[in-house]
Structure 1
Amino acid sequence: MFSSRIFTVCLSLVVLIGTPLQAQTLSMEALGRILFVDTNLSQNRTQSCASCHSPSTGFADPRDNGVAAMSSMGDDQVSLGDRQAPTASYAMLTPEFHFSEEQGEFVGGQFWDGRAKDLAAQAGGPPLNPIEMGMPSKQAVVDRLQENPFYVEGFKQLFGDSIWQDTDASYRAMTLAIAEYESSNEFAPFDSKYDRYLRGEYEMSFDEELGMALFFSNNNTNCNSCHMLKRPEQKGETFSNYQFHNIGVPANQQLRAVNGLGDNEVDEGLLANPAVTEAIHRGKFKVPTLRNVAVTAPYMHNGVFAELRTVLAFYDQFNNPERKLNPETDQPWRTPEVPETVSHELLKMKILTDRKINALEAFLKTLTDKKFESLVE
């Protein structure tokens, strides 16, 4: 039966795109855009890719899920995972997961542990995850797709008349379409204040310029050791080297108390990736992009910090004996979840005064895409 909910989604996207979407003229990107917001692809028909990666809020999860939005709630409106959904902004520029002989590090991949080699592999994960979209099998997802004549004809047009004869091929086609949409300029416009500054179209404030100087300075902070891929003057910087590191993030006890995993649970990080077996990688997580960082709270892989300023204070506490308290809790900083693999060398930097933290925060806000600038306080 044709779903009225899908019809509404398709109709709204026709209006959004501005031209009728006919199967014979459908592009892969347009199909992916529709699939991205289709809640019918979850068990209870309540959740889509856009639920956790909202196109209106930096492609992150804007919902209040009862734990200060620290983790995305599943399709059953109850389940909570142990990691927060990262922004999908600029994810298209993440290299495929691999071990770099030159760097001596694992690099790239999707998810916090890099276990999906690319965007298509990532897109295939959430529909089948029992605490996310909760579908029981690929066949169940394909059956939902085939409820909609629009998909039936659109898939044939893009992937061939025999596409529905093979479940794996049909499911793969869905993920390829979503990946194509996520590879569009909508996800990576490079039009932030920082980008406009590089083009001579924006003049930074004193604080923004000071923060930029601190960020790129090896003599003050160590930010650019992980959050720089290109030279500062080059365009297209994603502010991540896509390596994996343990920076001493504590467990999110508030989240653990709600998701049922308890205090004894330890997130293995990169070691949870089936391709990684050495214990030295335990507790390491992929360096995230800083694009749209000011509007994609909460922070760290487990959403343990609610404010961007807290993240900066957290880095400073490793070097500044005066910064003893977490400003969000007024309690001492908690110990790392996995202390044995913390990258202490990467955390060394000069002490940050409140003035410098203000400046760094101001600079990080300039990395917000133009369409999301209204979300910056």
Structure 2
Amino acid sequence: MRKYLTVLLALLLSSCGGSSDSSSPAFDSKEALGESLFNDVSLSFNRTQSCASCHDVAQAFTDSRKNDSDQTAAVSIGDDGVSLGDRNAPTVTYASQTPDFHNGSRTRFNSQQSDYSGWLGGQFHDGRATTLADQAGGPPLNPIEMGMPDRASVVERLLENTDYIAALETLYGTDVFDATDTAYDAMTDAIARFEATDAFAPFDSKYDRSLLDSDDPDYYDYGVISKVASGKVLFFSQQFTNCATCHQLKRQSSSGETFTGYEYHNIGVPINTAVRSANGSTDGFIDTGLQFNNSAVTADTEAGKFKVPTLRNVAVTAPYMHNGVFNELATVVKFYDHWLTGSSNSLNPETGVAWADPEISDTVNLTELQDGSLLDDDDVEVLVCFMMTLTDARYESLIPDVEWENCEAE
């Protein structure tokens, strides 16, 4: 019966100009369908917000909207124009490379620390979505994001578009609309397939180009004494920094490096008090991270842990940390350094006062945080310069030329 209603609705909509020529499907692949769905504001309650609203292709698939101070907002505003989240929208670039959420172990490289065992992978900051398709199904139903009341309401929006009807039935079977969950899951699968295309993970940064043969016209040479070269050495050093412990997935100089091991750690990030004041969080609210709303995780020892993010495009995806509490990449490096005894970075450079206390103190991972040597201002600068070279080619122009010139000059 559902199939006949779908066909009838398609005929009615097409008579009102709701579709392109039926003999020429608008979407000939799941990826093409997913791209349209990713950018479709009609899948939100007030028809004002799409996936792309918080994951802007022009800004490495992060939320580029500004706050009253003309800085990129720490958290996103919802479809209702009022609601604010509590976590920063992460980049979707390279999200397709993330393993499914699981408990396991991984080998570490360029690290003095032992191999990691614990929770790994998954989508969102807390891994609560096991796969990319699971993640795609979350925002439409989140009351402070796209705000749709249930899956059936989203499917009804799909049924308004005859191009979607034709594509979903062609690509996922003529019975795709027989059950709400089947149709909804087809939608999320299409979005996930779009997010798994090369557009999201091109691996064409200056770092990637440095791995090419030197006679390749696209080859990038770090040089010997440039700041980017010094930063690269420092980043991968086992003796002087702990960067690679959590931000190196493969053996050095391997292609396809995502600059995250997908581990979970509490690094002592403080509360973003400005966000909490703005979003109306109840007094005493604590974001327990991995333990907060990931049903697979219950142990108190996991409270306050968040997934290690990719450093791909990190130079153009401010603000930083899961709650957007820091605006500058140099601040993040100094924050890490302040955990070391004798650090000269005892003050938050963005506030001019001492670093605020961790949101959750009991599980801060001091073992990894207190590994490495103290950093001076030059060290911080060259590390930032190296991380600039992890920017996808199409986003390199987002970094001012003067910054590139400063980092690459010998």
Q: Aligning the two structures, in what range does the TM-score lie when normalised by the shorter sequence? A: over 0.9
Q: When the two structures are superposed, what TM-score results if normalisation uses the length of structure 2? A: 0.86
Q: What is the CA–CA distance in structure 1 between the aligned matches of 2:23 and 2:333, rounded to whole Å?
A: 46
| Deviation string, structure 1 residues 245-304 (Cα, Å, up to 9, x no partner) | 000100100100000115521101011211001100000000000000011111000000
Matched, 1:376 2:392: no
Aligned to 2:308: 287
Aligned to 2:245: 225
Percent identity, aligned pairs only, is 52
Q: What is the CA–CA distance in structure 1 between the aligned matches of 2:198 and 2:168, rounded to whole Å?
A: 23
Q: What is the CA–CA distance in structure 2 between the aligned matches of 1:29 and 1:21, rounded to whole Å?
A: 20
Matched, 1:98 2:94: no
Aligned to 1:171: 184
Q: Partner letter of residue 84 of structure 1?
A: N
The correspondence of residues 78-157 of structure 1 with structure 2, limited to 5 A, is 78-100=82-104, 103-157=116-170
Q: Partner letter of residue 260 of structure 1?
A: G
Q: What is the CA–CA distance in structure 2 between the aligned matches of 1:304 and 1:255, rounded to whole Å?
A: 9
Aligned to 2:79: 75
Matched, 1:40 2:42: yes
Q: Number of aligned pairs?
A: 365
Structure 2 spans left out of the alignment, 5+ residues: 1-11, 107-115, 401-410
- Find 2:381's aligned residue among 347, 353, 358: 358
- Find 2:227's aligned residue among 207, 210, 232: 207
Q: What is the CA–CA distance in structure 2 between the aligned matches of 1:341 and 1:194, rounded to whole Å?
A: 34
Q: What is the CA–CA distance in structure 1 between the aligned matches of 2:304 and 2:355, rounded to whole Å?
A: 18
Q: What is the CA–CA distance in structure 1 between the aligned matches of 2:351 and 2:77, rounded to whole Å?
A: 24
**SS state at 1:341 partner:** coil
- Find 2:264's aligned residue among 240, 244, 250: 244
Q: What is the CA–CA distance in structure 2 between the aligned matches of 1:198 and 1:178, rounded to whole Å?
A: 31
Q: CA deviation at 1:66?
A: 4.5
Q: Partner letter of residue 218 of structure 1?
A: Q
Q: Partner letter of residue 389 of structure 2?
A: T
Q: What is the CA–CA distance in structure 2 between the aligned matches of 1:230 and 1:184, rounded to whole Å?
A: 21
> Aligned pair in 2 of structure 1 residues 142, 66: CA closer, same or farther (>3 Å)?
farther
- Find 1:332's aligned residue among 343, 348, 354: 354
Q: What is the CA–CA distance in structure 2 between the aligned matches of 1:128 and 1:117, rounded to whole Å?
A: 17
> Aligned pair in 2 of structure 1 residues 140, 106: CA closer, same or farther (>3 Å)?
same
Tell me if structure 1 keeps the 8 A contact 2:119–2:263: yes
Q: Partner letter of residue 44 of structure 1?
A: N
Answer with 314-323 or 178-187: which moved more: 314-323
Q: What is the CA–CA distance in structure 2 between the aligned matches of 1:80 and 1:108, rounded to whole Å?
A: 26
**SS state at 2:103 partner:** strand
Tell me if structure 2 keeps the 8 A contact 1:65–1:73: no
Q: What is the CA–CA distance in structure 2 between the aligned matches of 1:21 and 1:364, rounded to whole Å?
A: 49
- Find 2:368's aligned residue among 341, 346, 349: 346
| Deviation string, structure 1 residues 81-120 (Cα, Å, up to 9, x no partner) | 1101100000000000000056421000000000000100
Q: Partner letter of residue 334 of structure 1?
A: A
**SS state at 1:189 partner:** coil
Aligned to 1:255: 275
Aligned to 2:344: 322
Q: Partner letter of residue 300 of structure 1?
A: M
Q: Partner letter of residue 358 of structure 1?
A: E
Q: What is the CA–CA distance in structure 1 between the aligned matches of 2:129 and 2:276, rounded to whole Å?
A: 25
Matched, 1:64 2:74: no
Q: What is the CA–CA distance in structure 1 between the aligned matches of 2:34 and 2:68, rounded to whole Å?
A: 30
Q: CA deviation at 1:345?
A: 1.1
Q: What is the CA–CA distance in structure 1 between the aligned matches of 2:305 and 2:104, rounded to whole Å?
A: 16
Q: What is the CA–CA distance in structure 2 between the aligned matches of 1:175 and 1:51, rounded to whole Å?
A: 17
Tell me if structure 2 keeps the 8 A contact 1:228–1:239: yes
- Find 2:175's aligned residue among 141, 159, 162: 162
Q: What is the CA–CA distance in structure 2 between the aligned matches of 1:160 and 1:351, rounded to whole Å?
A: 59
Aligned to 1:266: 286
> Aligned pair in 2 of structure 1 residues 153, 65: CA closer, same or farther (>3 Å)?
farther
Tell me if structure 2 keeps the 8 A contact 1:65–1:71: no
Q: Could you list the runs of 4 or more consecutive aligned residues of structure 1 that deviate by over 6 angstroms after TM superposition? A: none
Q: When the two structures are superposed, what TM-score results if normalisation uses the length of structure 1? A: 0.93
Structure 1 spans left out of the alignment, 5+ residues: 12-19
Tell me if structure 2 keeps the 8 A contact 1:40–1:47: yes
> Aligned pair in 2 of structure 1 residues 175, 247: CA closer, same or farther (>3 Å)?
same
| Deviation string, structure 1 residues 116-158 (Cα, Å, up to 9, x no partner) | 0010000000000000000001010000011011101111110
Q: CA deviation at 1:161?
A: 1.1
Output the aligned Cα RMSD: 2.0
Larger radius of gyration: 2
Tell me if structure 1 keeps the 8 A contact 2:158–2:164: yes
Q: CA deviation at 1:180?
A: 0.2
Aligned to 1:15: none
> Aligned pair in 2 of structure 1 residues 101, 225: CA closer, same or farther (>3 Å)?
closer
Matched, 1:31 2:29: no
Q: CA deviation at 1:325?
A: 1.2
Q: Partner letter of residue 398 of structure 2?
A: L
Tell me if structure 2 keeps the 8 A contact 1:207–1:359: yes
> Aligned pair in 2 of structure 1 residues 22, 54: CA closer, same or farther (>3 Å)?
farther
